[in-house]
Amino acid sequence: MAGKLYIVPTPVGNLEDMTFRAVKVLQEADLILAEDTRTTTVLLKHYDIHGRLQSHHKYNEHQTVEAVKERILAGLDVALVSDAGTPGVSDPGFLLVRTCAAEGIEVQTLPGATACIPAVVSSGLPCDRFCFEGFLPQKKGRQTALKALAGETRTMVFYESPYRLVRTLDQFAETFGPDRLCSVAREISKIHEEHRRGTLAEVSAWFKEHEPKGEIVIVVAGAPSRRREKEEGEDEKNSSGGGR
């Protein structure tokens, strides 16, 4: 009888953000696939988990995925974790999930920690509809991606390195306009968690004076839709006494 593949989210900051179920799955898994075994070892020691670890990251996943699939088909239960957050979301995982799903292997993804949702909810920007863009291309295709998002009306969520944050904010200001509202979430769930809100120009100016550190999530307001512009115009007209 084939085993199962478990996708297990891990804390993006505070180690206490693990769920009871996630701990139980890692305790019982026959094999734990880790993006960086050194990082995962710290987590496993914290929860007194002694499962067998194997490296599985973007540089070797194409070579290891078939062997992992065969182990699951042979009856092993395998758990996949990344260094932080949910595997497959800007982290290794998609290839293994696709391979196992195509083979008819049961894939169970546990709910848990992610940097995206806390960032967009805490931003103060509309979060009933949003699009997750992850990391933008660094060179080839970057300008094309930005131009394609210029008319996006949903709130947009991006991941970025602290070393590239200011450059990215300036590019956003150039593409979306310097007055577009945004929020930069830094070090989510950690001791020095910070949310810097304002226009793209204001937030960029802040980080030019205060060097950003840690994991970064950028949340940017969507472009005003025609319907929203019409509603706002009617509200302004009514509030000025011009309505009937």
The sign of the torsion formed by the CA atoms of 130, 132, 136, 137 equals: negative
CA 129/CA 82 separation, integer angstroms = 27
pLDDT at 232 over 80: no
Identify the structural domains of the chain with CATH numbers, from first to last.
4-109 (3.40.1010.10), 116-225 (3.30.950.10)
Q: Which element (helix H / strand E) includes 199?
A: strand 194-199
Parallel, antiparallel or unpaired: strands 194-199 and 181-186: antiparallel
Q: How confident is the model at residue 227 (pLDDT cuts 50, 70, 90)?
A: low
pLDDT at 170 over 80: yes
Task: Calculate the alpha carbon distances from 97 to 53, 103, 104, 141, 170 in Å.
Answer: 18, 10, 11, 27, 36
**pLDDT for the residue numbered 29:** 97
- C-beta atoms surrounding 190 within 10 Å: 14
SS (H, E, C) 82-143: CCCECCCCCCCCHHHHHHHHHCCCEEEECCCCCCHHHHHHHCCCCCCCEEEEECCCCCCCHH
Note the pTM of the prediction, 2 decimals.
0.86
Tell me which residue of 188, 176, 157, 187 sits closest to 223, measured CA to CA: 176
First-to-last C-alpha distance (Å) of the chain: 72
**pLDDT for the residue numbered 212:** 94
Q: How confident is the model at residue 243 (pLDDT cuts 50, 70, 90)?
A: very low
